Chain A
Amino acid sequence: MLERIQRLGAFGLSFCERLGVSAVLLARVIVRRPRFVKALPLLVEQLYMVGVLSLVIIVISGLFIGMVLALQGYNILDKFGATVQLGQLVALSVVRELGPVITALLFAGRAGSALTAELGLMQATEQISSMEMMAVDPLWRIVSPRFWAGLISMPLLTVIFMITAVYGGYLVGVGWLGLDPGQFWANMQSSVDLHKDIMNGVIKSGVFGFVVTWISVYQGYYAVPTSAGIARATTKTVVYSSLAILGLDFILTSFMLGGW
């Protein structure tokens, strides 16, 4: 019994320590004198790696999710004779929930894990140490562009996801099931609010982007520098990110519905 309490205490301490270390890492990445001329090309490169390369998976998933949503929604709405509301159903679920959450989950799997593995391998092969010995701060040169790229890419990817998902819904609803396109769009337009729905979705995705890149960068930078260590760190990135996304989504949603 005593041993269990001890272990719980030890776990608590190490958890707090890790939280502290990751906060310090975050502070060092964010709080620094900006050097735009040198930083910009690095950021652009990472925006490509993190953002542009995630585009394909985001677009394809968005399309399919919109299509499935329309199909399922149509069947249910049909029972109430309300199929004209399909546009609204697709748009609201995508913009409020599915867009930010699924984009973030996909992003964690596609870009977050890649970030962790890359940083972990750089640590294992002493690339980060050698950079330190060259008096180049790896937090500035390596971590910071990746962090900002993740933070910037996520909301953009989310918006792209939303657009393709709505388009997927349109394809199925109008193109296949034969709804009237005018009604589809009109109903959607009258029910989706720019501030309440779209902005809230984008805010969510910004928060998710922040958390996912923070987790990925921390796990990679402090990975145990062995193959097994990197494998474990990559797994942790995906698991922790997913849990954080879903948990935060609940919290944010409850705030937003509370009239925030």
Chain B
Amino acid sequence: MNDDIIKINGLKFFRADKVIFDGVDLNIKRGKITAIMGPSGSGKTTLLKLIGAQLYPEQGGVLFNGINIHKLSRKELYKTRRSMGLMFQSGALFTNLSVFENVAFPLREHTELPEDMIRDLVLMQLEAVGLRGARDLMPSELSGGMARRVALARTLIKDPKLMMYDEPFTGQDPITMGVLMRLIKNANDVLKLTSIIVSHDVAETASIADYIYIIANGKIVGHGEPDAVMQDNSPWVDQFVHGLPDGAMPFHYPAKNYYEDLLNA
């Protein structure tokens, strides 16, 4: 089989009249960790949702294992999604279920496992993210970082082939972050997954990623292996990985001149 699990060709996507993607080409290698970086609002979450076929592109397509995911029927799509996992930026836990039940949810829906086995699997996942003791809490009783770790456990438990993490490290302290990085790396290597990580933590992500794409202004502005990207001195990439305020990438959402705006009060 082809060793790209995902191939994206000439992807165009608009929101109202705003261009989010203007011809994006991107390949995700099977078994590797690919990082997607870019400024806030550049469309990283949107890209993951396009891959999961929650959004439909205006042009171009996403091939998942060689199949155009946007052409599938509803039934086939749900079948295909069983081999994908997406950890939402907001966590998106079910607010009427406890932490334990949230993590158990995919197992209860898709398997006929006996209760004690579900219990063991859930506790193992929760242990891995350090929240075994929080199993009886409700999502409203969790902090943002904890909620995201529960979401991580819930997404990993169903053993997807393709794992997509939307900013898993945001809101985590340095210790937890180290644990999560190892967890993601291990899951990828031991379970033979393919992982896509969206993250702003350049150094940390670069340390576990095999390949990095940087998007800005609706295009891929740089890609390569982490070392190459860190050394890349194209203006976009250089500015982003080193966090410089001025450069090719605008920090501001498109707006009219600042002084004019203030004077026109």
Contact = CB atoms under 8 A, between A and B. Distances in A.
Interface stretch (A132-140, A156-164, A234-242, A251-259): A132-140
A131 B94 CA distance: 9
Contact of B90 (A121, A126, A135, A136): A126
Given A126-B90, A127-B92, A133 B52 contact: yes
12 contacts: A125-B92, A126-B92, A127-B92, A127-B95, A129-B49, A132-B54, A132-B81, A133-B84, A133-B88, A134-B106, A134-B109, A135-B81
Chain B contact residues: over half helix, strand or loop, or mixed?
mixed
Nearest to B85: A133
Interface size range of chain B in the complex: 20 to 34
Interface string B77-114: 01101101110101011110000000001100110000
Interface residues of A, number: 14
B158 interface: yes
Chain A contact residues: over half helix, strand or loop, or mixed?
helix
Nearest to A139: B74
Given A125-B92, A141-B109, A130 B86 contact: yes
B95 A134 contact: no
Nearest to B94: A127
A136 B82 CA distance: 9
A255 to B, nearest CB: 37
Interface string A112-151: 0000000001000111011111111100010000000000
A87 B91 CA distance: 59
Given A134-B158, A135-B110, A129 B81 contact: no
A137 B78 contact: yes
Contacts of A135: 78-79, 81-82, 84, 110
A133 B82 contact: no
Given A134-B106, A141-B109, A125 B82 contact: no
Contacts, number: 49
Contacts of B151: 130
Contacts of B82: 135
Nearest to B106: A134
A140 to B, nearest CB: 10
A133 B79 CA distance: 10
A134 B88 contact: no
A137 B110 CA distance: 11
A68 B82 CA distance: 58
B158 A130 contact: no
Contacts of A136: 105-106, 109-110
Given A127-B94, A130-B88, A135-B110, 6 more contacts: A129-B54, A129-B88, A130-B86, A133-B54, A133-B85, A135-B82
Nearest 3 pairs between A and B by C-beta? A130-B92, A126-B92, A135-B81
Contacts of A125: 90, 92, 95
Contacts of B86: 130, 133
Given A129-B54, A129-B88, A134 B94 contact: no
A120 B191 CA distance: 36
Contacts of B158: 134
Nearest to B151: A130
A131 B88 CA distance: 11
Interface centre among B92, B93, B151, B158 (most CB of A within 10 A): B92
Interface in A147-200: none
A141 B109 CA distance: 9
Interface string B30-44: 000000000000000
Contacts of B54: 129, 132-133
Nearest to B49: A129
Interface string B117-133: 00000000000000000
Nearest to B157: A134
A218 B155 CA distance: 28
A131 B85 CA distance: 11
B81 A133 contact: yes
B92 A129 contact: yes
B121 to A, nearest CB: 15
B74 to A, nearest CB: 8
A134 B92 contact: no
Nearest to A37: B112
